[in-house]
Every structure is written in C-alpha cells, then in structure tokens.
Structure 1
Amino acid sequence: MASTEVDTIDTGWVRENPEAPSARFGWSGTAPRAYAIAALISGLIMFAMLKGNHVGHVEDVWLIIIGVVLIGYAAFKMRPRKGAWKRA
C-alpha cells in the first residue's frame, strides 16, 4: 500500500511550504499580471460597447465608469515598483 506521507521537496525556494499541494510543481500563489491583463482587455471591451443602439446615456455613463476603473486597476498593477522583490 502506498504511503500517505509527504516527502520534503527541494523546490529552490526557502519560503515554500513542503506540504502545499503545489509544492511539487514549484509554484503557489496568485497571478497579478494575468489579472491586470484581463482587466485591461475587459476595460477595452467596455469602451467598445459604447457603439450601439443606445437611446439614453445612462448605459454609456456606466460603461465609461467601469472601463476607467478596470483600466486604472490594470495600470496600477502593471506599474514597476522599486524593491518589490525584497518584500516577504
């Protein structure tokens, strides 16, 4: 019968938890750059939706607000930060 013990895995990272399920793949965390790219694309799609058969401009206002917020989020996340690699 196979053992259920987790072996210590040398991933090269000091802070890597050897009991994490993703330790064998060498990565655990989020993808902030992917989120920023998705927000940028979604914001551009919001602006593309401005062209249409709108009679009132309430929809346009909401599309502009949401598009600006998404593009602002993407710009904030994509800007280079000095010393970000030093944080724990």
Structure 2
Amino acid sequence: MAGNEPVTSPDQHKEPNLRLVRTAAVVSALITLTLVFGNHKPGVESVWIGLIAGLMLLAVIVDWMLRRNGLRS
C-alpha cells in the first residue's frame, strides 16, 4: 500500500448513470420553478428561483452538447 494514496472501495470508481443524473437535474429544476407559485407576492425571491432553475437547465444543456460533440467523455 502506498503511503499517501487514499484507500477507496471499487464502488467509488464506478461511473454514474448519466441519464439518471440529467433526469434528476431537470426534475429538480421543474420542482424549483413550482416554488414561484406560492403564497407570496412576486419579488426578489422569484427572480432568484428562476435564475437557479435556469442555471440547472443550462448546465444540463451544455453538458449534453459537449458530450454529443465529443468534447467531454
């Protein structure tokens, strides 16, 4: 065993299920957008909620485009 090498299990080296991760991100963004329709007057919090949901969707779209073009493995 190497001196500074961390001890990890084989499960930690497994690739994540990308389809599941993307689906979870899109569902999370949609659930976040439902928070806009609450019992409050639209204001600053609605803008932040929209920005957060938009950034989640943008991350999924950019990741999808990079993988499609072969720029990310």
- TM-score range, shorter-chain basis? 0.5 to 0.7
Contact 2:29-2:56 at 8 Å conserved across structures: yes
Amino acid at match of 1:21: P
Q: Distance in 1 between matches of 2:63 and 2:48?
A: 23
Instruction: Give the C-alpha shift of residue 77 in structure 1.
Output: 2.2
Unaligned 5+ residue runs, structure 2?
A: 1-8
Amino acid at match of 1:57: G
Aligned to 1:72: 58
TM-score, normalisation: structure 2 = 0.63
TM-score, normalisation: structure 1 = 0.55
Query: Max radius of gyration: which structure?
Result: 1
- Number of matched pairs: 63
Instruction: Give the C-alpha shift of residue 83 in structure 1.
Output: 3.8
Q: Which of 10, 24, 36 is residue 21 of structure 1 equivalent to?
A: 10
1:1-88 alignment runs, 5 A limit: 21=10, 28-55=14-41, 57-79=43-65, 80-83=67-70
Instruction: Give the C-alpha shift of residue 84 in structure 1.
Output: 5.9
Amino acid at match of 1:50: V
Unaligned 5+ residue runs, structure 1?
A: 1-19
Q: Distance in 2 between matches of 1:34 and 1:28?
A: 14
